[in-house]
Amino acid sequence: MSEVTARPGDVLGPVVVGPVAHGGHWVARLDGYVWFVRHALEGETVTLRVREVGKRFGRADVAEVLRASDDRVPAPCPIAGECGGCDFQHVAVGAQRELKEQVVAEQLRRLAGVDAHVPVEAADPDALGWRRRMRYHRAGDAWGLRAARSDTVVPLPPGGCRIAAPELAVPPSGAPQGDQVIGALSQEGVHWGDLRDATVLPERAAHRRWDVAANGFWQVHPQAADVLVEAVLEGLSPRRGETAADLYCGVGLFSGALVDAGVDVVGIEGSLDAVALARRNVPEARFVAGAVERSLRKLPSDLDLVVLDPPRTGAGRAVIRAVLERGPRAIAYVACDPAALARDLATALADGWRVQGLRAFDLFPMTHHVESVAILVR
């Protein structure tokens, strides 16, 4: 490979684009050097505009499409090429799910040694107007969203964010002052606040009412909570009288579903505010406030079921092994990142467990993100 002399802003190519990679970009090789390219599609011939140059690889955007894929469509949003929120607006919706299937399969194969094709299931709405929680950043006198891998704020286009629920597409003139504003669409309607706004908002999912803080975590797709609960219950088949742990339990979504199935539940969550709401939402369960990896000793020594819903970085080897040592008959792992899922699955597989079921859901249309639910048994 010859020395790379390109600098940010340079235009290179043409180059034929290779396969999609995890993270919302495609792999392209030019003179032996690897570029991770946004807004491309496999098989296209494009020129690249350089963003970053490293020793092993660089990052770039498509500067010009010289030969387009049949799956390329006009992006619904005029700032899709600048904003970091949407990676796939240039891809037909059905093809977006196929790309996510490829990424999930590649991560499972490379990191866990699991050879599986997992169809990515659609949820309604499956394209635009789905996001029920938004965070906007101030851009001068306007509001905007951050560019990819940057603190630069891209001002919203006329009509606002296309993936936001229409009520949240543009912050109102009366939105709180400051550098950032959050919007939430709940059962009571629209709420706008700043990052410190812990106003409790009502949600409904899994046949229950939930209290959720405006600045706390709740699934952003309107179908996500019900879809994920259904997948977890279907995979675990809980039996009345069993004991379960709900790790990274948030405000208690899976705990409530398991309690309603007759299971005795202990939940662990690092956020004190979320635990306070979980206790209010699911008084039938017991909740522990603290980091999961340091609080596992407070769980029963024997468990029948475990639900893991870790952050994007995954649960990690220590947590997975501590869970396996308690010998549950089944584990449901809810993952928002296929690489983290694959790494944690590899730990369980090495200890003699197997993947009994695996489903994936397109709960973040127009982005590269995909939600998965894996069921593990010994």
Give me the CATH number covering residue 346. 3.40.50.150
pLDDT, tens digit, for every residue of 114-147?
A: 999 999 999 999 999 999 999 999 988 899 999 9
- Mean pLDDT along residues 212-231: 98
User: What are 11-38's pLDDT values in tens digits?
Assistant: 999 999 999 999 999 999 999 999 999 9
Q: Is residue 86 among the annotated active site residues? A: no
Q: Are strands 354-362 and 371-377 parallel, antiparallel or unpaired?
A: antiparallel
Q: Is residue 2 scored above 80 in pLDDT? A: no
Packing angle of the helix pair 317-325, 338-350 (nearest 10 deg):
40
Give the per-residue pLDDT at 177.
Answer: 87
Residues 43 and 150 in one domain: no
- Mean pLDDT for the chain overall: 97
pLDDT value at residue 166: 98
**101 and 56 housed in the same domain:** no
Indicate if the pLDDT at residue 216 is higher than 90.
yes
Query: For residue 203, what are its two tokens?
Result: 């949600």
The string of pLDDT tens digits covering residues 79-111 is 999 999 999 999 999 999 999 999 999 999 999
Is 1's pLDDT higher than 60? no
**Three-class DSSP labels, the chain:** CCCCCCCCCCEEEEEEEEEEECCCEEEEEECCEEEEEECCCCCCEEEEEEEEECCCEEEEEEEEEEECCCCECCCCCCCCCCECCCCCCCECHHHHHHHHHHHHHHHHHHHHCCCCCCCEEECCCCCCCCECEEEEEEECCEEEEEECCCCCEEECCCCCCCCECHHHCCCCCCCCCCCEEEEEEECCEEEEECCCCCCEEEEEECCEEEEEECCCCCCCCCCHHHHHHHHHHHHHCCCCCCEEEEECCCCCHHHHHHHHCCCEEEEEECCHHHHHHHHHHCCCCEEEECCHHHHHHHCCCCCCEEEECCCCCCCCHHHHHHHHHCCCCEEEEEECCHHHHHHHHHHHHHCCCEEEEEEEEECCCCCCCCEEEEEEEC
pLDDT of residue 133: 98
Predicted confidence at residue 4, as pLDDT, reads: 87
Q: Does some domain include residue 211?
A: no
CATH number at residue 61: 2.40.50.140
Domain limit, last residue, from 178, 204, 230 = 204
Are residues 165 and 223 both part of a single domain? Answer: no
Asked whether residue 51 falls in the same domain as residue 17, the answer is yes
Q: In this prediction, what percent of the chain has a pLDDT beyond 90?
A: 96
Residue from 83, 161, 249, 336 carrying the catalytic annotation: 336
109 and 138, same structural domain? no
| Tens-digit pLDDT profile for residues 299-354 | 998 999 999 999 999 999 999 999 999 999 999 999 999 999 999 999 999 999 99
Residue 77 domain-assigned (yes or no): no
Residues 44 and 185 occupy one common structural domain: no
Residues 300 and 185 in one domain: no
Give the tens place of pLDDT for each residue, 227-260. 999 999 999 999 999 999 999 999 999 999 999 9
- pLDDT computed for residue 247 by the predictor: 98
| C-alpha dist (Å) from residue 153 to 52, 82, 138, 225, 369 | 18, 10, 7, 30, 21
114 & 260 share domain: yes
How many distinct structural domains can be found in the chain?
3
For residues 282 and 197, state if they share a domain.
Answer: no
Which structural domain, as residue segments, surrounds residue 149?
133-204
Residue 272 located in a structural domain: yes
Query: Are 181 and 271 part of one and the same domain?
Result: no
Percent of the chain with pLDDT over 70: 99
| Domain end (from 204, 234, 255) | 204
Whether 92 maps to a domain, the answer reads: no
Instruction: Identify whether residues 309 and 354 lie together within a single domain.
Output: yes
| Residue 4 forms part of a structural domain | no
Cα angle vertex 173, ends 170, 179, to 5°? Answer: 75
Cβ–Cβ contacts within 10 Å for residue 326, how many? 17
Q: Which of 159, 304, 144, 170 is nearest to 239 (CA)?
A: 304
pTM over 0.85: yes
pLDDT at 3: 76
115 and 192 both lie in a single domain: no
How high is the pLDDT of residue 60?
97
Taking 70 as the threshold, does the pLDDT of residue 203 lie above it? yes
